[in-house]
Structure 1
Amino acid sequence: MNMKKIGLVALLLAAAGAAQASALDQFKSFVANTKSARGEFTQQQVRKAANSKVAPVSSGTFVFARPGKFIWEYQKPYEQLLQADGDQLYIYDKDLNQVTVKKLGNALGSSPAAILFGSNDLEKNFTLSEGGTRDGLEWLTAVPKNKDTTFEQIGIGLKEGTPQAMELKDTFGQTSVLRFKNFQRNPALAANAFKFDVPKGADVFNQ
């Protein structure tokens, strides 16, 4: 291999190293500097079988304030609301007019929600590693340390310091892909923005 090729290989390796390092740097900067955010999302399960039907795409909006306060609202193809006020988690199914209430506690823990909504101490619950560059994004891999979680691995794709996508691989080998747009960091939020009001006539179940 001549010196020009050796130099090119070295340059490419250096560039790859910088790209990989930037994924972790971008993510840590995002976690440290993003106290709240809002935006829109789409969610779709990836099906590997060639004869599988295309999975439907869910979409909606989100808003969060660390730690543990968020509103994650599915609008299509069906309406469902997941809302947490830092203490309780409320799951509202509009079609059934039913609210399920759970103690938030450590429920975030090693779940994907902890990436966006949890505390800044992510390395307590996840092992973080570089995931390389793909689809124009720098990817980070987060593996839950708690083996009781339903997720085996979480990929976070970042660009310019902001999450653009997440890939959630569960213990059954299924992968769901989340994509974000109109991501607004640290917007002004009302003090009672995350207070949940039980819809009129809804059945409430505490778990």
Structure 2
Amino acid sequence: MRFSKYWAALFAGVTLMAMSAGAMADGVSQIKAFVAQVKTARGEFEQHQINHDSNGEPKSRQEASGTFEFARPGRFIWIYQKPYEQLLQADGEKLYVYDKDLKQVTERKLDASLGASPAAILFGSDDLEKNFVLKDLGARDGIDWVALTPRSKDTQFQRVAIGFKDNNLAAMELHDAFGNTTMLTFKNIQKNPHINLSHFKFVMPKGVDVIKG
């Protein structure tokens, strides 16, 4: 499965991440501070996706890595650099998924569904508790974890958990309705750098097929 296809669904209506912005006592406090204070950010990520068979046994593992940057609400650039180059980019109104190998761009509206998805934690507005029920999960392996349960029933994810370490984003776990688990880990994060909003305007590559969703 192409990572872009998987994450396009997540970004468009069902998924992604967080980081802290101060010295906080637990995961819930840190995620609230992130939503209130971190308006722009950039950093690096590693992604590990484990698929399961009908019996719940792991059957495959996919790995990827790359960079991200965002300006809330609704603007982001998520780049897969390995194992192949792919781009997900949103300008606040539309989401573009560019598959370089296939020379194909998928374009779709970035609508209100973002607000009820885990992606809204990173890219959305500051109404986190309007869309999620937060529950502190305590510390595990030196990371403070918080669970986010979507208030909306229209979601592909059964569980979402976000972890913080030393007041910074450390990891995110996504458990979808198909029995698959995706783990994201983060590093080299810059909080609130100056990013011109024109930076998020997508420039259509030459010679690509455009598919509008």
Fold similarity call, TM over 0.5: yes
Contact kept in structure 2, 1:69 and 1:117, CA below 8 Å: yes
Contact kept in structure 2, 1:67 and 1:118, CA below 8 Å: yes
What SS class does the counterpart of residue 28 from structure 1 fall into?
helix
Distance 1:171 1:48, change over 3 A: closer
2:87 aligned residue: 81
Task: Give yes or no for the alignment of 1:39 onto 2:21.
Answer: no
Task: Give yes or no for the alignment of 1:110 onto 2:109.
Answer: no
Task: Give yes or no for the alignment of 1:175 onto 2:185.
Answer: no
Distance 1:99 1:40, change over 3 A: same
Matches within 5 A, 1:2-81: 22-46=26-50, 52=58, 55-81=61-87
Q: TM-score, normalised by structure 2?
A: 0.82
What SS class does the counterpart of residue 193 from structure 2 fall into?
coil
Contact kept in structure 1, 2:104 and 2:208, CA below 8 Å: yes
Matches within 5 A, 1:93-132: 93-132=99-138
Contact kept in structure 1, 2:50 and 2:62, CA below 8 Å: no
Q: CA RMSD in A?
A: 1.9
Contact kept in structure 1, 2:71 and 2:197, CA below 8 Å: no
Q: Which ranges of 4 or more aligned residues in structure 1 deviate by more than 6 Å?
A: 48-51
Aligned-partner Cα distance in 1 for 2:198–2:126 = 22
What SS class does the counterpart of residue 107 from structure 1 fall into?
helix
Aligned length: 188
Contact kept in structure 2, 1:132 and 1:138, CA below 8 Å: yes
Identity of aligned residues (%): 56
- For the pair shown, the structure with the greater C-alpha radius of gyration is 1
1:15 aligned residue: none
Q: Which has the higher contact order (CA 8 A, sep 6+)?
A: 2
Contact kept in structure 2, 1:111 and 1:151, CA below 8 Å: no
Contact kept in structure 2, 1:139 and 1:155, CA below 8 Å: yes
Unaligned runs of 5+ in 2: 1-23
Aligned-partner Cα distance in 1 for 2:144–2:97 = 33
Task: Give yes or no for the alignment of 1:162 onto 2:168.
Answer: yes
Contact kept in structure 2, 1:112 and 1:168, CA below 8 Å: no
Q: TM-score, normalised by structure 1?
A: 0.85
2:16 aligned residue: none
What SS class does the counterpart of residue 30 from structure 1 fall into?
helix
Contact kept in structure 2, 1:30 and 1:161, CA below 8 Å: no
Contact kept in structure 2, 1:29 and 1:161, CA below 8 Å: no
Q: C-alpha displacement at 1:47, in angstroms?
A: 5.5
What one-letter code is carried by the residue in structure 2 that aligns with 1:41? F
Aligned with 1:204 (options 177, 192, 210): 210
What SS class does the counterpart of residue 75 from structure 1 fall into?
strand
Unaligned runs of 5+ in 1: 1-19
Aligned-partner Cα distance in 2 for 1:48–1:136 = 27
What one-letter code is carried by the residue in structure 2 that aligns with 1:93? D
What SS class does the counterpart of residue 193 from structure 1 fall into?
helix
What SS class does the counterpart of residue 198 from structure 1 fall into?
coil
Q: C-alpha displacement at 1:188, in angstroms?
A: 1.3
